[in-house]
Structure 1
Amino acid sequence: MKNILFATSECVPFIKTGGLADVAGSLPKYFDKDRYDVRVVLPKYNCMYQKWKDMLEYVDHFYMNLAGQDRYVGILKCEYEGVKFYFIDNEHYFNGFAPYEGDPKWNIEKFAFFSKAVLSILPVIGFRPDLIHCHDWQTGLIPVYLDNFRYAGEYYRGIATVMTIHNLKFQGVWDTKTVRGITGLPEYYFVPDKMEAYKDANLLKGGIVYSDRVTTVSQTYAEEIKTPFYGEALDGLMNARSNVLSGIVNGLDYTDWNPETDPRIAKNFNIENFRKLKQMNKLALQEELGLDKDAHVMMIGIVSRLTDQKGFDLIDYVMDELCQDAVQIVVLGTGDPKYENMFRHFAWKYSGKVSANIYYSDELSHKIYASVDTFLMPSLFEPCGLSQLMSLRYGTLPIVRETGGLKDTVVAYNEYEKTGTGFSFTNYNAHEMLNTIRYAEQIYYDKKRDWNKMIERAMAEDFSWNNSTRQYENLYKDLLGE
């Protein structure tokens, strides 16, 4: 039996701001329980819902030095869906209204505390991991501290580390002098071949340099980050570590995302009966959102953060043109005010055709995936992306730009070979996107049989966690010499 510890700054169901939480909460459940004891450690945020806080039971506490001060480290635990979770408690650091708030320096200190505490609680909880799986820059200091702790005693020697990059854009960067003062790490860690990048300290870089293996969340993204365009100024490092770098696509929790049993949608359906039943969801959604009721009109869905990264400058550029077509557009999400207002404007201008829902609702997101015909995701970059996986699961054909996980998971329609599970375009160009949408419209309206066959192929794809978990297990086996 091998002990694995996931260290993460967020995790469903306890706290979520993005896809990282889905991975940290879902993946541990799928490992072979006879071979791996996988546990998770995360901060105990004050902003967690009370029902989760009420589940936690006190384990112990002690004091740990950080930035020259003794800091309280409380340990709580609970078991949820067969997985043990540990929570690190400190009101000074985790008392805010959101997991990441305030200035970058404060977040760096908060997660330096968390990283050091993760290693410090191990002897207290009586769980010595064979491997610590770190996620994103917030845990980047764990492999660095582990290297430093090895000199302090036998206990920490031989613990392997894996660093998973969910989005290379976020790195935890601040000036070297301040970070040295916060972390208490010796000066020799703050040099260009270790934690320093372009004269600043970089927490993610520390994690990448000191981890035994580095993974990211799709094969294409693992290749892309070796190039200057996607490498976020770390492409040189990613090339230097390419011998230990691999990409494993995220999975989807197929129990939660299941059109056959989903309690949030108007009519449950499956691969056998979607032809009749999927459009009943469309009619129900049109009624709920005040759109013109028409089972035959092509409906385009968007569920996303409204940011440049997600390609909304492209949509903005051709939105008026697109609204001339025989389509309806449903948007759910929040983000950049200029995109929020752009969608509000078009919802006002084309009131029966466009629905702008500028908030987030888990329930409405399920209804959209189940109801729309296509899902638009023209991202500038997309390490993995989960929305296209949800779309495929619900028989909604994605229209994506060929980047990162989108390229790895959506097979472009080929009308001659009768293959594909969606539509894609290559260049980051608004009219190339519009042409692809119009090509999808043409197939939807003129080649319904081909369209339905594509839905069958989409729904038959397996992007459950089972597949990804086997790949992580192989990585662990390789690393632990099993």
Structure 2
Amino acid sequence: MRVLHVASEFYPLVKTGGLADVVGALPGALLGIGVDARLLLPGYPRILDGLSGIRVVGELPNPWGGAPARLLVGRTAEGVACYAVDSPRLYDRPGNPYLDPQGRDWADNHRRFALLGWAAAWLAGEGGGWRWRPDIVHAHDWQAGLAPAYIGLRQWPRPATVSTIHNIAYQGVFPPTVLNELAIPPEAYSIDGLEYHGQIGFLKAALWYADRITTVSPTYALEIQTPEGGMGMEGLLQGRAGDLSGILNGVDYGVWSPATDARLPARYTAEDMAGKAACKAALQAEFALDADPAAPLFGVISRLTQQKGFDLLLHAAPRLLAQGAQLAVLGSGEAALEEGFQALAQRHPGQVGTFIGYDEALSHRVQGGADVIVMPSRSEPCGLVQMYALKYGSLPLVRRTGGLADTVVHAAPGMLGAATGFVFDDADVQGLSWGFAAALELYRDPEAWRRVQRNAMAQDFSWTASARHYRDLYRDLFPDV
């Protein structure tokens, strides 16, 4: 069975969020269970520099004229075959994959990511030829959203298509005037196609044309069918409920394990936690927190947005700090929240430390040194940080939503047998404060805390189980393959 994964980022070469982690791990996990999984990525310089054995597959016709692009193929460091769309005028730019150095969307993002989808369709059709042609094209998020559309609108014997929603809040919406730049027939601009509230929706196109739709946790698959969680797509998703499934993301424990993590100042296991105390002391020093091993240390590793609930944390933090807790914040996002956490640190020296930005190695050190990882999200499709936290014995404190609800079991008093963290329901300051109170109460009982830590560290969210679910989905689409 041949499966082509189409995406806009890939860990460790290009990463802005959890999508890169998934795309970096899932194809390799599928290879391990017998699926010929390959990647198709934009030819950013970091992608091209990170692939080995690159050769030219062919010249890719430009759907809107101008210079053609090349399709290259090489291998990732993990041995996965990876195609790259080589178009320097579209992909060789400063900034991140989607934004210019000033933080604004690139004005031609519709062309940049339409070409990615076009390349997938070309490889699945005339470009595949005798070389390699996928049975299934698996598109990830809006940036790959036109791949199912281009495939569905063409007449050759075509592969099946799957579209995965990693976060429905990001939809790739563009004005209808760009339609003639995308090599899409005008009749496809309708409610039964790309049209989305008078605009062109790349994610809408994927959800309309894909044979199957997945998202990244079972609970999120239900939430996106509601007005509260569907972001305007709930009607379409309700209509396609029979084609929609939630498959929980996995964790690459080769990267995320305190027993082997070279980015930690000390390693540790569930049986020998001495190294975690050393990690906590090092983290307190790094964030200029008081060197107090008894102080409960709450960590944040996240984009700082209201969707992630960090306005709630800003309001709830004074009460938490008044009880002797410490807070280490690693993240960036909305300016008001960045400024709010920096001001909180100034008001509470020795108790609050911030690092505004993102640092991959530091995220490992926060996982290793924190007692609790805080994720008060209003919406969270899956979340990987809480699954990393479980393995590191840094008990996650989460709101009951999306993948957070599917992966963390609340430590209710007298019911610690399966508990792995703390879960609150209401997306408000009172709800989060209730979660803090539950965490502090357990922290004051070292024996109970260790029991829940052992439960957490024993959880297995490896990619193997998730990959099997995807393989079953592919087999359902191609039962004879």
CA distance in 2, matches of 1:356, 1:289: 7
In 2 relative to 1, CA 228–73 (structure 1 residues): closer, same or farther, beyond 3 Å?
A: same
CA distance in 1, matches of 2:232, 2:438: 37
Which one of the candidate residues 98, 117, 133 is aligned to 2:138? 133
Structure 1 partner of 2:316: 318
> Which residue identity is paired with 2:380?
E
Partners of 1:261 and 1:268 within 8 A in 2? yes
> Which residue identity is paired with 1:119?
A
CA distance in 2, matches of 1:313, 1:288: 24
CA distance in 2, matches of 1:297, 1:310: 25
Q: CA deviation at 1:79?
A: 4.1
Structure 1 partner of 2:271: 272
Partners of 1:104 and 1:174 within 8 A in 2? no
> Which residue identity is paired with 2:146?
L
1:361-384 Cα distance to aligned partner (Å, 9 max, x none): 111111111111111100010000
1:136-164 Cα distance to aligned partner (Å, 9 max, x none): 01111111111222x2x4xxx14111100
CA RMSD of aligned residues (A): 1.7
Q: CA deviation at 1:251?
A: 0.5
**Secondary structure at 1:128's aligned position in 2?**
coil
Structure 2 partner of 1:242: 241
**Secondary structure at 1:390's aligned position in 2?**
helix
CA distance in 2, matches of 1:34, 1:373: 36
Structure 1 partner of 2:34: 35
> Which residue identity is paired with 2:10?
C
Structure 2 partner of 1:96: 93
TM-score normalised to structure 1 length: 0.94
> Within 5 A, what are the aligned runs for 1:86-165?
86-97=83-94, 98-101=96-99, 102-103=104-105, 106-122=108-124, 123-124=126-127, 126-149=131-154, 151=155, 153=156, 157-165=157-165
In 2 relative to 1, CA 470–244 (structure 1 residues): closer, same or farther, beyond 3 Å?
A: same
> Within 5 A, what are the aligned runs for 1:378-393?
378-393=376-391
Partners of 1:63 and 1:70 within 8 A in 2? no
Q: CA deviation at 1:124?
A: 4.2
**Secondary structure at 1:77's aligned position in 2?**
strand
CA distance in 2, matches of 1:164, 1:130: 17
- 2:77 counterpart of 1:80: yes
Partners of 1:221 and 1:405 within 8 A in 2? yes
CA distance in 1, matches of 2:69, 2:459: 48
CA distance in 2, matches of 1:33, 1:404: 28
Structure 2 partner of 1:19: 18
Report the more deviating stretch, 80-89 or 231-240: 80-89
Moved over 6 A (4+): none
Q: CA deviation at 1:62?
A: 1.9
> Which residue identity is paired with 1:322?
L
- 2:327 counterpart of 1:329: yes
> Which residue identity is paired with 1:174?
F
Q: CA deviation at 1:175?
A: 2.2
Q: CA deviation at 1:413?
A: 1.1
CA distance in 1, matches of 2:323, 2:407: 28
Partners of 1:112 and 1:182 within 8 A in 2? no
In 2 relative to 1, CA 305–186 (structure 1 residues): closer, same or farther, beyond 3 Å?
A: same
Partners of 2:56 and 2:70 within 8 A in 1? no
Q: How many residues align?
A: 471
- 2:64 counterpart of 1:67: yes
Report the more deviating stretch, 217-226 or 406-415: 406-415
> Within 5 A, what are the aligned runs for 1:34-433?
35-46=34-45, 48=46, 51-52=49-50, 55=52, 57-97=54-94, 98-101=96-99, 102-103=104-105, 106-122=108-124, 123-124=126-127, 126-149=131-154, 151=155, 153=156, 157-178=157-178, 180-274=179-273, 276-419=274-417, 420-433=419-432
1:330-355 Cα distance to aligned partner (Å, 9 max, x none): 11111112111211112122111111
**Secondary structure at 1:169's aligned position in 2?**
coil
In 2 relative to 1, CA 70–333 (structure 1 residues): closer, same or farther, beyond 3 Å?
A: same
Q: CA deviation at 1:105?
A: 5.0
> Which residue identity is paired with 2:454?
E
Q: CA deviation at 1:80?
A: 2.6
> Which residue identity is paired with 2:134?
P
CA distance in 2, matches of 1:50, 1:209: 32
In 2 relative to 1, CA 316–82 (structure 1 residues): closer, same or farther, beyond 3 Å?
A: same
> Which residue identity is paired with 2:256?
W
> Which residue identity is paired with 1:147?
G
Partners of 1:104 and 1:172 within 8 A in 2? no
Structure 2 gap ranges (5+): none
Q: CA deviation at 1:406?
A: 0.4
Partners of 2:151 and 2:158 within 8 A in 1? no
TM-score normalised to structure 2 length: 0.94
Report the more deviating stretch, 363-372 or 382-391: 363-372
> Which residue identity is paired with 2:323?
D
Partners of 1:76 and 1:89 within 8 A in 2? no
**Secondary structure at 1:66's aligned position in 2?**
coil
1:374-415 Cα distance to aligned partner (Å, 9 max, x none): 111000100001110010010011110100000000011122
> Which residue identity is paired with 2:162?
V
Partners of 2:316 and 2:432 within 8 A in 1? no
1:172-194 Cα distance to aligned partner (Å, 9 max, x none): 1122232x211121122111122
In 2 relative to 1, CA 51–42 (structure 1 residues): closer, same or farther, beyond 3 Å?
A: closer
1:396-437 Cα distance to aligned partner (Å, 9 max, x none): 111101000000000111222223111111111112201210
**Secondary structure at 2:108's aligned position in 1?**
helix
Partners of 1:42 and 1:87 within 8 A in 2? yes
The percentage of counterpart residues that share the same residue type is: 37
Report the more deviating stretch, 128-137 or 350-359: 350-359
> Which residue identity is paired with 2:378?
L
Report the more deviating stretch, 382-391 or 435-444: 435-444
